[in-house]
Chain A
């Protein structure tokens, strides 16, 4: 369906990534946001709290990030599209109810504008060290989707995509922004509402007596019933059967949790988005994401100019990880260069998929600024040698 014009600020704007993300959420139809202030993410909810009153949205500043995430999961059960916004320390607190959202299969979007960590770390300076936490942060086995914008325009576009994916797959979807993109101001073009495709939740067409909240028909994603529509359903964070009732057995655990994984893993081709450049003849592939992708692209072009056969692969989707693409490339390239603003996180995935068939070289950065492109050029030269 097309976006509700009430939330779409059509036009060409000069916006930072945080504001663009807020505009993306409103354009996507988000009408409930709960959050707690934290640098460098707060501008997202400041934007939303100013604009929501004119479009029927409710913003509430909760007492902490535990409550923010819990409120988002609760509100999503009314069918209202929901989001919360945070940075590393708050992301840690949200993990509890991110697990609940995964287990209850509750659509929601969580934005993490990453700063340097661990702990309070570098509140006003960039980091990319939460990308593994996005994948593994809450306890137990579950799959999520995580997207990573490299510009304010993409912060807008990918926030809409995050909502669409969360509605389709009934999972929490993370927008793993970083402080640089969040605070970088660039041109952002917001289309007309009828040019923006948004996904609405698949409500069940069954009568209340026939409906089971976790019954599967065809695909791996159950149909949704809203609280207040007469279905009188039950949902729990415990391992549950198709009725949503707790069942403490290994068999039910297998059925319940396996599907949480499968509904994402069976659809990776639909979900994963990559940007690729000059991979045809590449001997070295630079794999990067977020703000680091922009620095890495500059380094790649420089190395090409130096005569090195280097290609570029940008992870727009961080999770699920593009395993097959990396495996295919590993079979024919000399190696991968992975710059990231952490001491080695996504590089572990590249290394796992390369499985020894191609070299993998991490270009780490502890956070606080972006890489010097020359360091990446040197790494490319080292792998090409």
Chain B
């Protein structure tokens, strides 16, 4: 008897996000149960729905597990240095203002080594969408303590539990001036996708934190089970409170995670302020950077 395996395989439809993914690079580097792939799918779906000209969208990542996101997106994609995705992206945006520039990277990358760039880009309101995938730990290097590791949670460099106060990321972003701040988990696929879609429709420094499972390191070191059990935990312990005061959003070890949209208050971006300021100061003498960039052609 001949098994119809080949015939069935031939009929497998293309993955709906395939046009936005570098399919030739699959399988990806992420562990089974990791949350990063879910964020990629939500990002791709949001981009497709956004109506943006995707040829004009760039994605920038730093270093680490989440730093590999750019490498799987079929966009102009940059895998940069550790912590410097935001200033690299700042250069891209200012060098060619018509670009939509997204930064997708991890907690250690964006608010550990890159923390100074994070707060200054938010302060300046640089026109960037920043998706921070927070797995509470340094994954790529083997589970070291992060600036987001909850108090008492174990990591390979805090084997007796973390005693450092972690950042509350929505509060950090909001108090630095970000005009759009949200937090979701990898379980909230539709809400996260909507949030990214909404943020793509906004301007300025838009910040979305995504709490993601790390079964290989964070969950294993803290005996939290598999990626699936972390998702169950999100299901039972995530609380949606739109508009919550960002001072109340600390994430404790194995405690409830408050999700939602906390800030949506547009203010002028860096480039809008620059243009308005120089137009006022210099009048007709002011020449803004052309939308298509400052390259002078032959």
Of all chain A residues, the one with the shortest Cβ separation from B29 is A246
Q: Do A235 and B287 form a contact, CB below 8 Å, given A74-B89, A77-B95, A78-B295?
A: no
A32 touches B287 (CB 8 A): no
Q: Pick the contact of A237 from B79, B94, B120 — CB < 8 Å?
A: B79
Q: Does B151 contact A (CB under 8 A)?
A: no
Q: Do A31 and B289 form a contact, CB below 8 Å, given A70-B88, A238-B79?
A: yes
B280 to chain A, nearest CB (A): 11
With an 8 Å Cβ cutoff, the count of chain B residues facing the other chain is 50
B22 touches A67 (CB 8 A): no
Interface string of B69-95 (1 = CB under 8 A from A): 011001111111101101111111011
A232 to chain B, nearest CB (A): 5
Residues of B within 8 A of A57 (CB): 289, 294
Q: Do A58 and B294 form a contact, CB below 8 Å, given A232-B75, A232-B76?
A: yes
- Given the complex of chains A and B, what is the CA–CA distance between A377 and B71 in angstroms? 59
Chain A interface category by residue count: 35 or more
A1 touches B95 (CB 8 A): no
Interface with B: A37-45, A48-56, A293-301, A311-319, which one? A48-56
A78 touches B87 (CB 8 A): no
Q: Does B254 contact A (CB under 8 A)?
A: no
Q: Does B285 contact A (CB under 8 A)?
A: yes
Residues of A within 8 A of B288 (CB): 56
Residues of A within 8 A of B270 (CB): 60
A53 touches B278 (CB 8 A): yes
Q: Pick the contact of A78 from B25, B79, B80, B95 — CB < 8 Å?
A: B95
A74 touches B298 (CB 8 A): no
A63 touches B116 (CB 8 A): yes
Q: Do A201 and B294 form a contact, CB below 8 Å, given A62-B120, A66-B87, A75-B94?
A: no
Residues of B within 8 A of A1 (CB): 298
- Given the complex of chains A and B, what is the CA–CA distance between A81 and B289 in angstroms? 12
Interface centre among A4, A74, A82, A97 (most CB of B within 10 A): A74
Of all chain A residues, the one with the shortest Cβ separation from B277 is A53
Q: Does B99 contact A (CB under 8 A)?
A: yes
A100 touches B289 (CB 8 A): no
A31 touches B294 (CB 8 A): yes
A69 to chain B, nearest CB (A): 8
Q: Does A236 contact B (CB under 8 A)?
A: yes
Of all chain B residues, the one with the shortest Cβ separation from A108 is B91
Q: Does B282 contact A (CB under 8 A)?
A: yes
Q: Does B290 contact A (CB under 8 A)?
A: yes
Of all chain B residues, the one with the shortest Cβ separation from A31 is B294
Q: Does A332 contact B (CB under 8 A)?
A: no
Residues of B within 8 A of A99 (CB): 81
Interface string of B260-292 (1 = CB under 8 A from A): 000000000010001000100010011111101
B71 touches A232 (CB 8 A): no
A270 to chain B, nearest CB (A): 20
Residues of A within 8 A of B298 (CB): 1, 200
A382 to chain B, nearest CB (A): 48
Residues of A within 8 A of B287 (CB): 6, 53-56
- Given the complex of chains A and B, what is the CA–CA distance between A80 and B99 in angstroms? 13
Q: Do A53 and B282 form a contact, CB below 8 Å, given A70-B81, A71-B88, A226-B295?
A: yes
- Given the complex of chains A and B, what is the CA–CA distance between A62 and B114 in angstroms? 13
Decide if the interface of chain B is mainly helix, strand, loop or mixed.
mixed
- Given the complex of chains A and B, what is the CA–CA distance between A118 and B250 in angstroms? 43
A74 touches B71 (CB 8 A): no
A234 touches B95 (CB 8 A): no
Q: Does A245 contact B (CB under 8 A)?
A: yes
Residues of A within 8 A of B22 (CB): 234, 245
Q: Pick the contact of B116 from A4, A64, A71, A73 — CB < 8 Å?
A: A64
Q: Does B296 contact A (CB under 8 A)?
A: yes
B71 touches A234 (CB 8 A): yes
A228 touches B56 (CB 8 A): yes
Interface centre among B22, B78, B91, B295 (most CB of A within 10 A): B91
Q: Pick the contact of A71 from B58, B90, B282, B297 — CB < 8 Å?
A: B90
Residues of A within 8 A of B286 (CB): 53-54
B81 touches A100 (CB 8 A): yes
- Given the complex of chains A and B, what is the CA–CA distance between A67 and B120 in angstroms? 10
Restricting to B24-61, which residues have a CB under 8 Å from any CB of A? Answer: 25, 55-56, 58, 60
B277 to chain A, nearest CB (A): 9
- Given the complex of chains A and B, what is the CA–CA distance between A231 and B55 in angstroms? 7
Residues of A within 8 A of B60 (CB): 74
- Given the complex of chains A and B, what is the CA–CA distance between A136 and B89 in angstroms? 27
Residues of A within 8 A of B84 (CB): 66-67, 70, 96-97, 100
Restricting to A79-94, which residues have a CB under 8 Å from any CB of B? Answer: 79-82
Q: Pick the contact of A70 from B74, B79, B87, B282 — CB < 8 Å?
A: B87
Interface centre among A1, A198, A236, A238 (most CB of B within 10 A): A236
- Given the complex of chains A and B, what is the CA–CA distance between A63 and B79 in angstroms? 21
Of all chain A residues, the one with the shortest Cβ separation from B124 is A60
A245 touches B77 (CB 8 A): no
A229 to chain B, nearest CB (A): 7
A237 touches B294 (CB 8 A): no
Known: A62-B87, A74-B78. 17 other contacts (CB 8 A): A32-B94, A32-B294, A53-B286, A56-B287, A58-B294, A62-B90, A76-B91, A78-B91, A79-B293, A97-B81, A97-B84, A198-B296, A227-B99, A228-B96, A234-B70, A237-B80, A245-B22
Q: Which B residues have a C-beta under 8 Å from some C-beta of A?
A: 22, 25, 55-56, 58, 60, 70-71, 74-81, 83-84, 86-92, 94-96, 98-99, 116-117, 120, 270, 274, 278, 282, 285-290, 292-298
Could you list 27 examples of A-B contacts with CB < 8 Å? A6-B287, A32-B95, A34-B91, A53-B282, A56-B294, A58-B294, A67-B87, A67-B90, A67-B117, A68-B87, A70-B90, A70-B91, A74-B80, A74-B89, A74-B91, A75-B95, A76-B95, A77-B76, A78-B99, A78-B295, A79-B95, A99-B81, A100-B80, A227-B78, A228-B56, A237-B79, A245-B71
Q: Which A residues have a C-beta under 8 Å from some C-beta of B?
A: 1, 4, 6, 29, 31-32, 34, 53-58, 60, 62-64, 66-68, 70-82, 96-97, 99-100, 104, 198, 200-201, 226-238, 245-246
